[in-house]
Chain A
Amino acid sequence: EADIYQTPRYLVIGTGKKITLECSQTMGHDKMYWYQQDPGMELHLIHYSYGVNSTEKGDLSSESTVSRIRTEHFPLTLESARPSHTSQYLCASSEWRVSGNTIYFGEGSWLTVV
Chain B
Amino acid sequence: SQKIEQNSEALNIQEGKTATLTCNYTNYSPAYLQWYRQDPGRGPVFLLLIRENEKEKRKERLKVTFDTTLKQSLFHITASQPADSATYLCALDRTDKLIFGTGTRLQVFP
Contact = CB atoms under 8 A, between A and B. Distances in A.
Interface of A: 2, 31, 33, 35, 41-43, 45, 48, 58-59, 88, 90, 92, 96, 99-108, 110
B93 A101 contact: yes
A107 B43 CA distance: 5
What DSSP secondary structure best describes chain B's contact surface?
strand
Interface of B: 31-32, 34, 41-46, 49, 51, 89, 91, 93, 96-103
Contact of B43 (A42, A58, A90, A99): A90
Contacts of A110: 41
B43 A105 contact: yes
23 contacts: A35-B100, A42-B100, A42-B102, A42-B103, A43-B100, A45-B97, A45-B98, A48-B97, A59-B99, A90-B43, A100-B51, A101-B93, A101-B96, A101-B98, A102-B46, A102-B49, A103-B46, A103-B91, A105-B43, A105-B45, A106-B43, A107-B43, A108-B41
A42 B45 CA distance: 15
Nearest to A99: B49
A41 B43 contact: no
Nearest to A107: B43
B16 to A, nearest CB: 28
B96 A96 contact: yes
Contacts of B45: 2, 105
Contacts of B91: 103
A33 B93 CA distance: 14
B42 A107 contact: yes
Central interface residue in A35, A48, A100, by most chain B CB within 10 Å: A100
A107 B39 CA distance: 10
Contacts of B96: 31, 96, 101
Contact of B42 (A92, A104, A108): A108
